Structure 1
Amino acid sequence: MTSRFELPRRGVLGLMGASLGLSLLPAPLRAQTAGVNTGRLHGLSIFGNLKYQPGFTQFDYVAPDAPKGGSLSQTPSNGAYNASLLSFDTLNGFILKGNAPPGLDYVFDTLMTRALDEEDAVYGLAAESVEIRDKGNRLIFHMREAARFHDGSKLTAEDAAFSLNLLKAQGHPLIALNLREMKEAKALDAATLSIVFTGNQTRDLAIYIAGGLPIFSKAWYTAHAFEETTLVPPLGSGPYKISEFKAGEFVTYERVPDYWARDLNVNIGQWNFGKLRFDFYRDRTAAFEAFASGQYRFREEFTSKTWATQYDFPAVKDGRVRLETLPDHTPSGAQGWFINTRREKFADPRVREALTLAFDFEWTNRNLFYGLYQRTVSFFENSPMRAEGLPSPDEMKLLEPWRSKLPEAVFGPAYSPPRTDGSGQDRKLLRRAMDLLDQAGWKIIDGIRKNAKGEALTVEFLGDDPILQRIEGPYIKNLKLLGITAQSRLVDSAQFQKRIKSYDFDLVVQRYSLGLTPGIEMRGYWGSEFARTDGSRNLSGIENPAIDALIEKVIAAPTRADQIVAARALDRVLRAGQYWIPQWYKASYALAFWDIFARPDTLPKYDRGVERCWWFDAARAKKLGIEG
């Protein structure tokens, strides 16, 4: 989801981006196979470039001889679908109901798996190879003979077909709706999976299916209801299985020693820890103190105040705990307070812009964040897809057909929230906000903003973490100066998740971390259909045909350059719509960890790589008197 200043990253698994077709082929094959079927391919990528050639031995960012064993314990920092970072009450992470722990993707293999040093490439895992047929409308996956579930039963094409059909019928809406253009998934035999598309599919659907969706055991899920929450550990086939857990407190994933795919080139040097444990804390202070005392060993820090002032405890001073800042080359995405436009009081964009003008980022960054952040302005922050200045001629070609349905601001310089004077109460911007509210029909009556019906303008900030309140407090004071009745509402994690899924909020903090090649996930964030679908990421309730059309332009762009143009045009429309109050970002990882770990010399460019590529260093641990 987001950073808690920043909010923890909650990317959606496998949502990389763009439209199925011949551009999935490695570049040398594209010209030779236009309009005809391909042979067996060892990998897929959206724009056709694969770094690793057939027969490669390992990824470049791993240490092939990394030792196995030891443990990595941490608090969660990212998740997908129904995952929660503060608690959990189910071990089913692929439906809407319940709150699951992060890490369930370690339990299940996929047909193919991502390379973390490429934008969107995937290579064979449970499927050894894939063929593209019928001009991209059919995929044939050839399954590996050795693939097994943890109980020793064989993983077949029938299990893969069953899984895809099950996820389309009963999976989380973010999965089910993305699979709607999958017409059919069936096993031609135990080793051959056929997937047929409708012809209206997006290019990245193949990548999403291949590299992002779990393969379930048909036998196990025939005996266990998939659509229900459960605390029964699922049967998987991946590098880890659930060994211990206590709902709401911790979950431990134990490495499977005879994991069937441990020696595949896509797994060499990876999944080195004997155990991966996630500890859950509802209180941020308690979580920090637990780390400082060694109750868990690895922490990604998301709070600037904590990073700047609290890492001075004895274990840091004597070197037992290391602090490192690593570059984050992935798009920072969009973080902010998202405004629920489903509510009539927020339907007018002038009201929403007034809310943005009342937030003083410069004061907040200096006084609360120690100057560690930059202002987020774009839905594609820290990315070439961020719109700048006036629209280019190519952007104008995409925007012009929608001129009558778009605000004029779209065709000027890309909207960015104005820089404040840093006083905490920028009078110029507050006066401008007052004018906008007046224009929108919200007048001051006895010191309170009211509409023609006599209804007061109120704003509730919904959250599940008290640390948000120190940022929202000064903001709320400014809103009250505008005559807006505002408050910060703190609820428990379960209630928070329930209200988010049903859009029962005014404003809520979220961070969207888009992929390097954005695609079908954008429908879930900003598409009209998802505005009416419970559990989607379209928190603002955006329903705009121009945005829908531009999303499809981004998805179907024939080249990366074309995709950048389309994304910039989309960014302009989203920003001009005033759907959020943008917050802040930092293009780096702030990591603190007890000095018992080692890692490869080359790190993956597009991921922290901690769980996959680091390992437990027994010699270092012995010096500190720490057991694995």
Structure 2
Amino acid sequence: MPLASPAEPTHGIAMYGEPALEKGFSSLPYANPEAPKGGTIRLAEPGSFDSLKPWVLKGNAAWGVGVHVAETLMMRSIDEPFTLYGLLAESVETDPDRTWVEFTLRPEAEFSDGSPVTVEDVMWSYKTLGTVGHPRYLGAWAKVAKMQKTGDRSIRFTFKESDRELAMLMGMRPILKKSQWQDQNFAESGLEPPIGSGAYVIDKVDPGRSISFRLNPDYWGKDLPINRGLNNFNEIRYDYFGDASAMFEAFKAGDVNIWRELSPQRWQNEYDFPLMTEGRVVKSEIPNERPSGIMGLVMNTRDPIFADWRVRQAMIEAFNFQFINNTLNGGADPRITSYFSNSVLAMQPGPAEGRVLELLKPFADKLPPDAIEGYSFPEGSERILDRGALRRALKLMEEAGWTVQDGAMKNADGRPFSFEILLNQSGSAMRSASETQQIHDIFLQALGNLGITPRVTLLDSAQFVQRTNNYDFDMTWYERALSLSPGNEQLLYWGHDGVTLPGSRNWMGMNSPAAEAMIGAMLEATTEDEFTSAVRALDRVLTAGRYVIPVSFSPISRLAHSADLHYPEKTPLYGDWPGFLPEVWWQEAKK
């Protein structure tokens, strides 16, 4: 189906086709407009924080500030692959080729201090974020040729190049209050509470330990259809803990209201604590149809020892996925088979065909092995020692110039094959510290059979963020969620700028013209079929690049929560995804 673009101001915009919700819709389909208001929800985060500015690279920002305090011109529906509806903006307009986009602000939009949200605030926010903000904002801003005020409440962005996603991205930048920040060095981190236009204001801050947000009773947008059934709690509080074990203990004690369980084995066997048996805590499983993303051990190709794909494949062979998966979760969750697995965007098995093959052919001599022919990860063995995989790993290492000498893997000069594995002692969003430690312990045993003994370094969250932002590691734990609408952000994840630019998500240090060409084809696609082919081709380049040793993923979210917390029966396409919890949840009043 060809891309349809509005020729006049409209209430929403979709990447392909038309928005599913027509003008005048009553609420988002996954929200409950009758949800009761009130109550408090307490959530847990690992590590600590030292900043309230999530829009800059410096500092370790508290979670929730960018979610609850600042708003954007448009709001994403997580029940559609990529559709935006007006939030601060009452309308959006673009030409058929999307060479420009224009937004008109709602006249009632205002910051929490009662001052209006103006075009000047929008222009200052976009320019500041695009020049001194976090690297995630820089790429799209570099493609803006002109930003101009076209009316008292309207602003237009004209683009330098063909990129159909830019019209969407321009609706998704946080709008900050110009007068609060214009005389400061915005790139510096800080604990000054930002003034936003969102439903919540920052209420209490205990740096590094907790932050709470209070519902603004005078929130300007509380009656908008897009907000009906959202922002139901009077207070949202995030408490920070040293690691996932401490977080889980706090949940079992009733000090935290919701727990995302990442281990299917523990989900089945370890939920017999008193609050559960008394019925004060319940379990919910929430399905999704989004890509698996990539999660596992990433190898930094900036380090010469991981620059050779054969070495990376040897590490993948040594990682006995089947045994690890059985040990950690009873084999309940499937393996990540590619970056976009579990979705229609995933590369297909076997050789590339059709449009995917056409896109890859010009780069055939520079692609990683098997990108065109078809690549898959080894299955592993049920036994802890996978002898076949270790033999393959030894052969690959020998081809790359490494052999076992006197019980240690060395090169021809006698230099040992040595590297550091960097770990966050607080764990990650998708794996607890104890789980990642178990994974590494089994992996280290296998590496020992190859004469390889890595150094393992545990760091607190702040140190871990600092080192990974600057790519100061050899191997580390890596997680990258991916959506059904990949676009410009893929350059931040896999683009060549990230080889040297601090703060990108290109932790593997890849520099692949083929990958960037596939991203370019995605951005220029005018039909859904063209887009899907480009993403599948990108998936092949990434997966065959052998940058990450993937683990398992869950096609459902396992949430244990207080029995008085509820969510709508209709769950969105993306499932448990930003915009779902705590946005559409509510608390029933105690009887």
- What TM-score does the superposition give when structure 2 sets the normalisation length? 0.95
1:558 to 2:534 alignment: no
1:182 to 2:151 alignment: no
Q: Post-superposition shift, 1:252?
A: 0.7
- Distance of 2:471 and 2:4 partners within structure 1: 37
- Kindly report which structure 2 residues correspond to 1:586-605, keeping only aligned pairs within 5 A, or say none: 586-605=554-573
**CA contact 2:288–2:555 (8 Å) conserved in 1:** yes
Structure 1 residue ranges (4+ consecutive) displaced by more than 6 angstroms after TM superposition: none
In the alignment, which residue of structure 2 is the partner of 1:614?
Answer: 585
- Kindly report which structure 2 residues correspond to 1:107-186, keeping only aligned pairs within 5 A, or say none: 107-133=69-95, 135-186=97-148
Supply the AA of the counterpart residue of 1:614: W
Supply the AA of the counterpart residue of 2:496: S
Q: Post-superposition shift, 1:325?
A: 1.3
In the alignment, which residue of structure 2 is the partner of 1:7?
Answer: none
Supply the AA of the counterpart residue of 1:73: R
- Helix, strand or coil at the partner of 2:141: coil
Q: Post-superposition shift, 1:235?
A: 0.6
Supply the AA of the counterpart residue of 1:69: G
- Helix, strand or coil at the partner of 1:87: coil
Q: Post-superposition shift, 1:372?
A: 2.3
Unaligned residue ranges in structure 2 (runs of 5+):
426-432
Q: Post-superposition shift, 1:138?
A: 2.0
1:546 to 2:514 alignment: yes
In the alignment, which residue of structure 1 is the partner of 2:412?
Answer: 452
- Helix, strand or coil at the partner of 1:536: coil
**CA contact 1:377–1:417 (8 Å) conserved in 2:** yes
1:328 to 2:328 alignment: no
For residues 181-207 of structure 1, give each alpha carbon's deviation from its aligned partner in whole angstroms, at most 9, with x where no partner exists.
Answer: 012323334311121211x15221221
- Helix, strand or coil at the partner of 1:254: strand
1:193 to 2:173 alignment: no
> Which of 56, 69, 84 in structure 1 is aligned with 2:38?
69
In the alignment, which residue of structure 2 is the partner of 1:202?
Answer: 163
In the alignment, which residue of structure 1 is the partner of 2:401?
Answer: 441
> Which of 445, 448, 454 in structure 2 is aligned with 1:477?
445
1:303 to 2:271 alignment: no
> Which of 340, 353, 365 in structure 2 is aligned with 1:404?
365
> Which of 302, 319, 332 in structure 2 is aligned with 1:372?
332
Deviates more, 1:55-64 or 1:247-256: 55-64
In the alignment, which residue of structure 2 is the partner of 1:274?
Answer: 234
- Helix, strand or coil at the partner of 1:404: coil
Q: Post-superposition shift, 1:305?
A: 4.5
For residues 325-353 of structure 1, give each alpha carbon's deviation from its aligned partner in whole angstroms, at most 9, with x where no partner exists.
Answer: 11122222111211000011111100000
- Distance of 2:89 and 2:386 partners within structure 1: 58
In the alignment, which residue of structure 2 is the partner of 1:8?
Answer: none
**CA contact 1:376–1:583 (8 Å) conserved in 2:** yes
**CA contact 1:338–1:580 (8 Å) conserved in 2:** yes
**CA contact 2:100–2:167 (8 Å) conserved in 1:** no
Deviates more, 1:342-351 or 1:175-184: 175-184
For residues 519-576 of structure 1, give each alpha carbon's deviation from its aligned partner in whole angstroms, at most 9, with x where no partner exists.
Answer: 1111111111222211000010000111111121122222222222122122122222
- The count of aligned residue pairs is 577
- Helix, strand or coil at the partner of 1:276: strand
- Distance of 2:4 and 2:214 partners within structure 1: 35
In the alignment, which residue of structure 2 is the partner of 1:381?
Answer: 341
- Helix, strand or coil at the partner of 2:187: coil
**CA contact 1:334–1:381 (8 Å) conserved in 2:** no
- Distance of 2:206 and 2:134 partners within structure 1: 24
Supply the AA of the counterpart residue of 1:184: K
**CA contact 1:169–1:176 (8 Å) conserved in 2:** yes
For residues 474-497 of structure 1, give each alpha carbon's deviation from its aligned partner in whole angstroms, at most 9, with x where no partner exists.
Answer: 110111111112232211111100
Q: Post-superposition shift, 1:24?
A: 5.6
- Helix, strand or coil at the partner of 1:578: coil
In the alignment, which residue of structure 2 is the partner of 1:285?
Answer: 245
Q: Post-superposition shift, 1:421?
A: 2.2
- Distance of 1:607 and 1:250 partners within structure 2: 27
Deviates more, 1:521-530 or 1:495-504: 521-530
- Distance of 1:135 and 1:406 partners within structure 2: 32
**1:196–1:329 Cα change, 3 Å:** same
Deviates more, 1:217-226 or 1:278-287: 217-226
Q: Post-superposition shift, 1:52?
A: 0.9
**CA contact 1:158–1:190 (8 Å) conserved in 2:** no
- Distance of 1:178 and 1:531 partners within structure 2: 18
Unaligned residue ranges in structure 1 (runs of 5+):
1-21, 30-37, 77-84, 623-628
- What TM-score does the superposition give when structure 1 sets the normalisation length? 0.89
- Distance of 2:360 and 2:401 partners within structure 1: 30
Supply the AA of the counterpart residue of 1:187: K
Q: Post-superposition shift, 1:133?
A: 4.1
Q: Post-superposition shift, 1:405?
A: 1.5
For residues 578-603 of structure 1, give each alpha carbon's deviation from its aligned partner in whole angstroms, at most 9, with x where no partner exists.
Answer: 11111110111010111111222322
- Distance of 2:309 and 2:550 partners within structure 1: 15
Q: Post-superposition shift, 1:509?
A: 1.4
- Helix, strand or coil at the partner of 1:178: helix
In the alignment, which residue of structure 2 is the partner of 1:524?
Answer: 492
Percentage of identical aligned residues = 37
- Distance of 2:560 and 2:96 partners within structure 1: 51
In the alignment, which residue of structure 2 is the partner of 1:23?
Answer: 3
- Helix, strand or coil at the partner of 2:241: coil
In the alignment, which residue of structure 2 is the partner of 1:501?
Answer: 469
In the alignment, which residue of structure 1 is the partner of 2:194?
Answer: 234
In the alignment, which residue of structure 1 is the partner of 2:185?
Answer: 225
Q: Post-superposition shift, 1:124?
A: 0.8
**CA contact 2:68–2:199 (8 Å) conserved in 1:** yes
- Distance of 2:509 and 2:281 partners within structure 1: 44
